[in-house]
Chains A and B, each alone.
Chain A
Amino acid sequence: MNPRFSLAFAWYYGFRTIKRGPSYVIASLSSPLTLLFLIYIISKGELIKYAVVGGFLGLVASVSFASVADAAFLRIQLRIQDLFVATSISPTDYILGLTLSYIIFSMPGIILYAIIGALIHIFTLESIIALVLLLVILTVSTAGLSMTIGGAVNHIRNVWGISAIMSVVLTVLPPTFYPYSYLPKYIIYILAISPTTPAAVLAQGFFGFEPIMYTMIPIMLVEMVFFFALARFFTRWREN
């Protein structure tokens, strides 16, 4: 393990990128903010608290899902991964570096949502702690899933479509921006295939909007371990 590399990668690839290319931040914010606006209008403000909490999760998930394209671009187009293969860093260091970068990419959006959340008084100390934990676990799961898929892609032209589909289907379809109680229970379990679903269901529970669905805790933890392990073993580090 080379945590210094992971941190340096996150600093240079995450922080420097958003500092010098703020359009990336605006792009990642555009979809959750649009949904927030629509939900506010359609529900006449009633579901705004769901949309704000969902916005945190949707933002983190969509940034990570967009990383399918990132991971493939770095490997296929820029050959950056090849450069690092011939060093002593491991695939885990590289994946951690990328994951930390995505957390940094999400930070401006998280700050914006925190301000909105504070304005509509949805936070308690417990709910903030729960939300932070959920965001970290969700980032690891979604980044792992994205890097596994990004690592399997052979041609860069295929990757942009996959990333867009994943971002919409796995972020908007789950009960991220609406109450999970709108859905039959079996549908929630089917949707739990996306790490965004257990995160959203639990967040709604911890914020007191809906009853806490405890079965989602093991599902979320198992998905985190599973998707990270998948990325660790299936990231094409040394090619065949």
Chain B
Amino acid sequence: MLSTENLSKTYKGGIKALDSVTLTVDKRLVAFIGRNGAGKTTLLRILSTQLKPSSGTANVAGYDILKQPDQIRRKIVSIPQEASTLGVLTPMEHMKLYLIARGFSVLQANEESLRALRELEMYDARNRPSDTLSGGMKRKVFVAMALAANDEITFLDEPTTGLDPVSRFEVWAAIKNLSGNIVLTTHYMEEAQELAEEVILVEAGKILEKGPVKELLRRFDGKVRVESILPGSGDYQIGRTYVKYVKQEDAEDFVKKGYNVRRITLDDLFIVRGVTIEP
């Protein structure tokens, strides 16, 4: 689906957002995961032809991002992280405008917009000016655009940031319904676990690890995470919390000693690498 070779990006002022990233992605639903500023959005913007890399190259849907951006743009949908609705326009109008930009006829745009809005349970709100919608509903307008455009690759940059739990579940359901390949970024571990066939851990512009969630978590098989606020009581320190990994059968002893026991999640991949993730 896509590949990169030594992809780097340094912004004006010398901030290095990506550092020689080389990777191949061939799973249908892939999540780039990392904390804010890790380089996820930069990578997504480069892959979706919105931003030029400083060096290196990438292929998306078989086309070179630098030499063939127009061919790529016909095959992708990209929903930026901070995209906001135009307050006076309704969800239906946003959708139709976007689909017409993608080459749909007015009639097709109308039909596909209605279908997507129904699927996301936004049909009743279709004619409300978007400045009267909740934050979650506004975000869902953009997911509905991707759903209606239904293209080969959909890039979603933090699609559920700022959404309440119910809206988040609805967006997840909608993302699962997208038919093409999906590349999303998130800093929610449970989102990556819920949606992605493969996760790619990004930190400081580099790829830390890549693989299916189960495979990445295999090193923790039979273990749990125990946490304490007592100094020196763990192998890893996250803020004021000390963490260590112990066998599941020993967990009860640690509970008696005042430790909190947590099940293993993708967070732990970052913790063992000394990266503090957001709660």
Contacts and interface: CB of A to CB of B under 8 A. Distances in A.
Interface of A: 2, 4-5, 8-9, 12-13, 16-17, 20-21, 77-80, 82-89, 93, 238-240
B84 A8 contact: no
B74 A86 contact: no
A84 B101 contact: yes
A83 B48 CA distance: 10
Interface residues of B, number: 37
Given A12-B93, A82-B50, A238-B69, A89 B101 contact: yes
A88 B52 contact: no
A5 B101 CA distance: 5
A86 B83 contact: no
A86 B77 contact: yes
19 contacts: A2-B101, A5-B97, A8-B96, A8-B106, A9-B97, A79-B83, A79-B84, A83-B78, A83-B142, A83-B145, A86-B48, A86-B49, A86-B50, A86-B155, A93-B101, A239-B50, A239-B52, A240-B51, A240-B52
Nearest to B51: A239
Interface string B227-242: 0000000000000000
Nearest to A239: B51
B76 to A, nearest CB: 6
A2 B93 contact: no
Nearest to B129: A20
Given A80-B86, A82-B78, A86-B73, A8 B100 contact: yes
Given A8-B96, A88-B73, A238-B49, A82 B83 contact: yes
Contacts of A2: 100-101, 103
A89 B74 CA distance: 9
A240 B78 CA distance: 18
Nearest to B52: A240
Nearest to A237: B50
A238 B129 contact: no
A98 to B, nearest CB: 13
A5 B76 CA distance: 18
B52 A83 contact: no
B111 interface: no
Interface string B66-93: 0001100110111111111110110001
B51 A13 contact: no
Q: Which of B83, B85, B96 has the most CB of A within 10 A?
A: B83
A79 B76 contact: no
Nearest to B94: A12
A88 B71 CA distance: 8
Contacts of B102: 87-88
Contact of A20 (B48, B85, B88, B100): B88
